[in-house]
Amino acid sequence: MDVKIYDKLARRYDLATKIVSFGIEEVWRWLFIRKIKKFIKNGVMIDAASATGEMAKTGFDKIYFIEPSSEMVKIMVEKFKNAGFKEEKFEVQFQEKPYIKLKKENKEYIIIQDSAENFKIDEKADLITSFMGLRNFDNLVKGINNLTAHLKDEGYFAIVEMVKNDSLIAKLIMWYMNKIVPLIAGILLGMKEEYKLLGKSINSLNEDDILKNLKGYEIVMKEKLIFPVATLIIAKKNGRQDI
């Protein structure tokens, strides 16, 4: 996905998402976090394709936010600072990509401007999340493999994604996403063509594409979230990955 689209959208991303989804995406995120907490309640977390950092709502004490859009990163920093987080400087710069570290009491957030395919950190996570992010990976196989390499054995990979589905309800939702959402985005944001591309990105991915790339995982939960177009998958790494 062209990062420039998200750079342009960043300032209005949260509001636009609420409007075009009629608030359903917030419900999906709430359900996602609730399902995750059945398996793991805290630890080190990596969130891939973080957008404005809404997955901070998991409440995990240490979260790495991986986001390639520089404008989305700026929004995240502002959002967390407004919530009382203070920026700290790294003693060591791990790589050339921007790293921003923020702390508040026992919570530590590290924002990395990079893609899921290419980021590198020295620490492994107990949980990796991707909420509506996989379809924007330039290379799904490389992205999932790199994330898996950053996950501890017995750690969890939790995903919510909008995917193609042959049910009537799903087809109606996809018609709305492809035909109506760009019109709304054109009126409210002046981004009709950009939202056409976002709609097409949903059509580019199906559930099998995700599952076949979760090699070396046990699928511990797989279900639809309210509407059949949104799929939730929680997988546990079995420790026998060979990447």
Quick one: tokens of 239? 């420790």
Task: List the one residue out of 177, 53, 163 whose CA is nearest residue 113.
Answer: 53
The predicted model scores a pTM of: 0.87
DSSP count for the chain of H helices, then E strands: 9, 9
Answer yes or no: is 148 within a domain.
yes
Task: List the one residue out of 61, 66, 65, 64 whose CA is nearest residue 43.
Answer: 61
Quick one: tokens of 38? 């059945």
pLDDT tens figures, 151-165: 999 999 999 998 776
pLDDT at 115: 95
pLDDT tens figures, 14-69: 887 877 777 888 999 999 999 999 999 999 999 999 999 999 999 999 999 999 99
Is-contact 124 150, C-beta < 8 A? Answer: yes
Task: List the one residue out of 115, 130, 78, 129 whose CA is nearest residue 100.
Answer: 78
Answer yes or no: is 136 within a domain.
yes
If one counts the domains in the chain, the total is: 1
How does DSSP classify residue 179? I
Answer yes or no: is 204 within a domain.
yes
Which structural domain, as residue segments, surrounds residue 210? Answer: 3-237
The CATH number for 216's domain is 3.40.50.150
Residues of the chain with pLDDT > 70: what percent? Answer: 84
Span 82-100, average pLDDT? 72
- Residue 167's CB is within 10 A of a number of other CB atoms, namely 12
Answer yes or no: is 115 within a domain.
yes
Answer yes or no: is 242 within a domain.
no
Task: List the one residue out of 3, 26, 136, 7 whose CA is nearest residue 74.
Answer: 7
pLDDT tens figures, 202-225: 666 788 889 999 999 999 999 988
Answer yes or no: is 243 within a domain.
no
Q: Is residue 106 pLDDT above 90, yes or no?
A: yes
pLDDT at 90: 54
Give the full edge-to-edge strand order of the sheet including 107-112: 86-88, 99-104, 107-112, 62-66, 44-48, 125-131, 151-162, 227-237, 217-225
Answer yes or no: is 97 within a domain.
yes
**Which secondary structure element, helix H or strand E, spans residue 61, and what is its range?**
none
Quick one: tokens of 102? 């923020």
Q: Is residue 96 pLDDT above 70, yes or no?
A: no
How does DSSP classify residue 90? -
Answer yes or no: is 189 within a domain.
yes
User: Between 22 and 96, whose confidence is greater?
Assistant: 22
